[in-house]
Amino acid sequence: MASLADELQQLFQQFSGQLEAAANEQAVRKVYADFGGANGAIRLKQKELIKSAPNDQKRVIGQATNEILQNVEAAFNAALGRLASQAEARELARSVDVTLPGRAHRLGHLHPITLARREIEAIFAQLGFTVAVGPQVETDFHNFEALAMPKDHPARDMQDTFYVAGAEGAAGEGADVVLRTHTSPVQIRTMLARKPPVRVIMPGTVYRRDDDATHSPMFNQVEGLCVDEGITFADLKGVLLHFARRFFGEEIGVRLRPSFFPFTEPSAEIDFSHGTCKGRGCRTCKNSGWIEIGGAGMVDPEVFRHVGYDSEKYTGFAFGWGIDRMAMLKYGVDNINAFFEGDVRFARQFR
Task: For residue 182, state whether it binds ligand FA5 (rule: CB under 6 A).
Answer: yes
Q: Among 28, 146, 329, 336, which residue sits at the site for ligand FA5 (rule: CB under 6 A)?
A: 336
Of the ranges 30-38, 61-69, 192-200, 316-324, which one interacts with ligand FA5 (CB under 6 A)? 316-324
Supply the minimum distance, in Å, between the C-beta of residue 105 and ligand FA5: 35
Q: Which is nearer to ligand FA5, 107 or 158 (CB)?
A: 158
What H or E segment, with its residue span, contains residue 68?
Answer: helix 55-93
Going by C-alpha positions, the residue among 213, 202, 294 that lies closest to residue 255 is 294
Query: How many Å apart are CA 95 and CA 34, to the nearest integer?
Result: 38
Query: How many Å apart are CA 214 and CA 179, to the nearest integer?
Result: 20
Of the ranges 41-49, 92-100, 219-227, 237-245, which one interacts with ligand FA5 (CB under 6 A)? 219-227
What x-and-dash track marks residues 68-97 binding ligand FA5 by CB under 6 A? ------------------------------
Cis peptide before 203 (omega within 30 of 0): no
Task: For residue 216, state whether it binds ligand FA5 (rule: CB under 6 A).
Answer: yes
Q: Among 58, 215, 245, 286, which residue sits at the site for ligand FA5 (rule: CB under 6 A)?
A: 215
Supply the minimum distance, in Å, between the C-beta of residue 142 and ligand FA5: 12
Q: Which is nearer to ligand FA5, 71 or 276 (CB)?
A: 276
DSSP 160-190: ---B-TT-TTTTSTT--EEE-SSSHHHHHHH
Q: Which is nearer to ligand FA5, 112 or 295 (CB)?
A: 295
Q: Which is nearer to ligand FA5, 176 or 324 (CB)?
A: 324
Task: For residue 144, state whether it binds ligand FA5 (rule: CB under 6 A).
Answer: no
C-beta separation of 55 from 25 below 8 A = no
Query: How many Å apart are CA 116 and CA 94, to the nearest integer?
Result: 50
Q: Among 46, 143, 264, 284, which residue sits at the site for ligand FA5 (rule: CB under 6 A)?
A: 264
Q: Among 210, 228, 235, 334, which residue sits at the site for ligand FA5 (rule: CB under 6 A)?
A: 210
Burial 169-191 (b: 16+ CB within 10 A, else e): eebeeebbbbbbbbbbbbbbbbb
What x-and-dash track marks residues 279-308 binding ligand FA5 by CB under 6 A? -------------xxxxxx-----------
Supply the minimum distance, in Å, between the C-beta of residue 292 and ligand FA5: 4
Query: How many Å apart are CA 302 and CA 300, to the nearest integer?
Result: 5
Supply the minimum distance, in Å, between the C-beta of residue 323 and ligand FA5: 8
Task: For residue 178, state whether it binds ligand FA5 (rule: CB under 6 A).
Answer: no
C-beta separation of 200 from 227 below 8 A = no
Report how far apart, in Å, the C-alpha atoms of 146 and of each of 42, 111, 236 are.
97, 33, 22
**Backbone dihedral angles phi then psi of residue 223, each to the nearest 5 degrees:** -95, 145
Binding footprint of ligand FA5 on the chain (CB under 6 A)? 182, 184, 208, 210, 215-216, 219, 221, 223, 261, 264, 267, 292-297, 318-322, 324-325, 336
